[in-house]
Chain A
Amino acid sequence: GQNIDQPTEMTATEGAIVQINCTYQTSGFNGLFWYQQHAGEAPTFLSYNVLDGLEEKGRFSSFLSRSKGYSYLLLKELQMKDSASYLCAVRDSNYQLIWGAGTKLIIKP
């Protein structure tokens, strides 16, 4: 079966760095996405990786290793507004998205 694993919850301190991991087992691979979802709101697109390596976008970076079935989202200089759930999703061989359950990130002052 297809599976996306990510930690249920993480806690970090304002101003610090946090890494949210995602491992996947899917039927084929056509890209990996990270979305941010604030409580009670819709998910919003953060990043997309299809080749191995690091993609940097401001305070957020996303890394992919296809051989290891692994990705991480790195958030730097954490701000209180970064408190949210972070969803990892993989597009499989049928171009359908398989979603992880999300990681709830709690930022403490």
Chain B
Amino acid sequence: IAGITQAPTSQILAAGRRMTLRCTQDMRHNAMYWYRQDLGLGLRLIHYSNTAGTTGKGEVPDGYSVSRANTDDFPLTLASAVPSQTSVYFCASSDSRVETGELFFGEGSRLTVL
């Protein structure tokens, strides 16, 4: 089934540990994004990539890093997790060459940092 896959679905993590959230899409979309969603707040962009080999910082990039080695994969790494990074993380992709360029989201990764 075509789409966007995230892993893990949920994770409990001790503060200070390193964690990588995986994201893979098979729609050949050029653009990919990582958002976090917290109660009462809109989706906030962490990092994005407009094409393989390039990445950019979003609204809340501190404490996170990404890479885009190829079109399909866009992992998000927390180098040293802190409790404020407890959130639901959504990976998304889009074909920015299409006028609407709507986002397609993965099912989310619920991360709890203790």
Given A48-B102, A97-B103, A42 and B41 contact (CB-CB distance below 8 Å):
no
Cα A33 to Cα B61 in complex, Å, equals 24
A-B contact list, 13 entries, CB within 8 Å:
A31-B100, A33-B102, A41-B108, A42-B107, A45-B102, A48-B100, A87-B42, A96-B58, A97-B43, A97-B45, A98-B42, A100-B42, A102-B42
B90 and A99 within 8 A (CB): no
Say whether B105 faces chain A, with CB atoms less than 8 Å apart: yes
Q: Mark A13-55, 1 if CB is under 8 A from B, else 0.
A: 0000000000000000001010100000111110010100000
Which B residues are CB-close (under 8 A) to A87?
Answer: 42-43
**Complex: A50 Cα to B98 Cα, angstroms:** 13
Interface majority SS (helix, strand, loop, mixed), chain A:
strand
A-B contact count (CB 8 A): 43
Residue-wise, chain B 40-59 has the 8 Å CB interface mask toward A (1 for contact) of 11111100100000000010
Q: Which residues of A contact B106 (CB under 8 A)?
A: 42
In the complex the two chains form, is A101's CB within 8 Å of B107's CB?
no
Interface-centre pick from A31, A44, A97 (highest chain B CB count, 10 A): A97
Which A residues are CB-close (under 8 A) to B108?
41-42
Chain A residues near B99 (CB-CB < 8 A):
50
Closest B residue to A49 by beta carbon equals B100
B96 at the A interface (CB under 8 A): yes
Residues of chain B from 52 to 108 with CB closer than 8 A to chain A in the complex: 58, 90, 96, 99-108
Give the chain B neighbours of A101 by CB distance below 8 A: 40-42
**Do residues B42 and A43 form an inter-chain contact, with CB atoms below 8 A?**
no
